[in-house]
Amino acid sequence: MNQGTKQLFLQTGSLIGGFMVWVLISSLMPFIKVDITLSSTQIAWATAVPVILGSLLRVPIGYWTNRFGARKLFSISFVLLMVPIAIISYANSMFMLIAGGFLLGIGGAIFSVGVTSLPKYYAKTKHGFINGIYGAGNIGTAVTSFLAPALATEFGWRTTIQIYLIIVIIFALLNFLFGDREEQKVNLPLSEQINKVYRNPKLWFLSLFYFITFGAFVAFTIYLPSFLVNHFELSKVDAGLRTAGFIALATLFRPVGGWLGDKVNPFMILATVFFSLTFAGFLLSFTPSLPIYSFGCLLVAFFAGIGNGAIFKLVPLYFSKQAGIVNGIVSAMGGLGGFFPPIILTILFNLTGHYAIGFMALSEFSLASLVIVVWLYYHEKLEISAQIVNHAVDGICVTDPNGIIQRVNPAFTKITGFKQEEVVGKTPSVLQSGEHNNEFYKLMWASLSSTGYWEGYVWNKRKNNEIYKEWLTITAIKDDLGETKNYLGMFKEESA
């Protein structure tokens, strides 16, 4: 087994273990609130608090992974997770739940480790699929959502939490013994990496997209157990089983989303994702019956999973040299996306008596993201076109229908000596050498007017007044109605 495959198994297993611990409070809340008196708002805070550190810590953890390697980060994280497990197992007040839950966030923060480390072992064409497989480690939340209520019914919730000490000890030892000691390190200062990425709008667009997709996954994961028990009066174990099903579906389709991102334009995938989430949020906002509500939740699980996988195809694609810090920022925003919805839903329910506004917010945010994705898709196409023009060997000059220069490429400057700012707003006559009479140019424009095309040899003049010979092709660019919008001139210098 090569090192990449070995680390993929180890790190994905570690993420499963971390996420199993991360959602302990939300999974056991129906049992905890029996022993500790909590209001609906306090329950929302207690279940959401683990997301805070699980989000904010992802930024430095992504940076530290690049600097120190996944082996150290995973080992230390699992050792630290022993502390909140001990606190929560003896909790008898809201304060102890909040304190333990805050530190429990370390279990979610370790997500940044694998998405930063694993791409180092694989070619870029596999990054989406590999990060998708690793991201499927969030199945750990499904395991706890199903297992913890069953254990709590048999042994009590405090003993159940203490059982999880075994899990963190096992994964701490596995990473210490089998983690890659020779992992490639990146030791660039944190401030230098942040300065190189924070002005890039793609960073914040990706953060928004992950805020919606992973945020929806986390929010439903921590909110469904209590919601299904309180609103639909399901049993605790049944609610846990349904939540586990939601998590399993979202997890299953995460590597599918990453694989699709390797094969298809990721923006097309995200457009489909946000269109579907817009519909799902709209459906859930009407507080439907249990079957329809279940269908809406399954839509969220399916498309949030695909979206989560596709987004982490784009991160190493755009930020290969700053992958650690960018993975941290994007994943942190995703975690925060899971922190706010449960609290907002609870507050809105207390004010209005229903959840419609909260679910409609998911729909509207998804719709806004859909608009941005479509814009990015076409903007990327324009950028590709611009790159083709800028890297062309032939000189290129674009004019409006009246022959006024709108743009030239670097090859134009290299051949003629004129920079773009020196010719934009002028006509190509700035290059005329005087070697051709007016009849020559009249015939040229007559051909363009009748056929939209002209080609031939032209003697032109450089900025330094040197005359040179070029082969020039001029094409009329027309719109759908056949109206000329631009003229495109392409030329290459010929030996005299």
Q: What is the pLDDT of residues 190-244, one digit of tens each?
A: 677 777 787 888 888 988 898 889 878 877 877 777 778 877 888 877 887 888 8
pTM for this prediction: 0.68
What pLDDT does residue 472 have? 93
Residue 176's closest CA among 60, 81, 63, 73? Answer: 73
In this model, does residue 381 exceed pLDDT 70?
Answer: yes
What pLDDT does residue 496 have? 59
3-state secondary structure of 302: helix
Whether the CB-CB separation of 325 and 190 falls below 8 Å is answered with yes
- 360 Cβ partners below 8 Å, 6+ apart? 281, 282, 285
Q: Tokens for 252, please give them.
A: 């299953």
Residues present in the chain in total: 496
Helix 82-89 and helix 24-35, axial crossing angle in degrees, nearest 10: 20
Long-range contacts, 431-435 (Cβ 8 Å, 24+): 431/460, 431/461, 432/460, 432/461, 433/459, 433/460, 433/461, 433/467, 434/461, 435/459, 435/467
CA distance 219 to 203: 23
Helix 201-231 and helix 236-263, axial crossing angle in degrees, nearest 10: 160
CA distance 51 to 30: 19
DSSP state letter for 232: S
Of residues 488 and 323, more confidently modeled: 488
Q: Which amino acid is at 150?
A: A
Residue 341's closest CA among 244, 250, 215? Answer: 215
Q: In what order do the strands lie in the sheet with 467-478?
A: 405-408, 395-399, 484-494, 467-478, 453-461
- 346 Cβ partners below 8 Å, 6+ apart? 40, 41, 43, 44
Point out which residues pair with 261 in neighbouring strands: none
What pLDDT does residue 1 have? 67
What pLDDT does residue 342 have? 67
Point out which residues pair with 469 in neighbouring strands: 459, 494
Least-confidence region, from 311-320, 369-378, 400-409? 311-320
CA dihedral 59, 61, 65, 69 (to 10 degrees): 180
CA distance 310 to 314: 7
What pLDDT does residue 287 have? 66
What pLDDT does residue 461 have? 93
In this model, does residue 455 exceed pLDDT 90?
Answer: yes
In this model, does residue 293 exceed pLDDT 90?
Answer: no
In this model, does residue 267 exceed pLDDT 70?
Answer: yes
Going from the C-alpha of 339 to that of each of 45, 103, 332, 362, 480, the distances in angstroms are 9, 15, 11, 14, 49
3-state secondary structure of 434: coil
Rounded to an integer, the average pLDDT of 131-147 is 86
33-80 pLDDT, tens digit per residue, is: 889 988 877 887 888 888 888 888 888 888 899 889 999 999 999 999
What pLDDT does residue 79 have? 96
In this model, does residue 94 exceed pLDDT 80?
Answer: yes
Widest distance between CA atoms in the chain = 99
Going from the C-alpha of 190 to that of each of 7, 31, 288, 321, the distances in angstroms are 25, 43, 48, 12
CA distance 287 to 73: 43
Whether the CB-CB separation of 373 and 274 falls below 8 Å is answered with yes
CA distance 7 to 180: 7
CA distance 395 to 418: 11
* Domains of the chain, start order: 3-388 (1.20.1250.20), 392-494 (3.30.450.20)
Rounded to an integer, the average pLDDT of 156-178 is 95
What pLDDT does residue 124 have? 77
Rounded to an integer, the average pLDDT of 460-466 is 93
Tell me the pLDDT of the chain averaged across its residues.
87
Point out which residues pair with 397 in neighbouring strands: 408, 489
DSSP state letters, 352-382 = HSSSHHHHHHHHHHHHHHHHHHHHHHHHHHH
Long-range contacts, 441-448 (Cβ 8 Å, 24+): 444/474, 448/474, 448/476, 448/487
Tell whether the torsion through CA atoms of 271, 272, 277 and 282 is positive or negative. positive
Residue 113's closest CA among 34, 192, 10, 193? Answer: 10
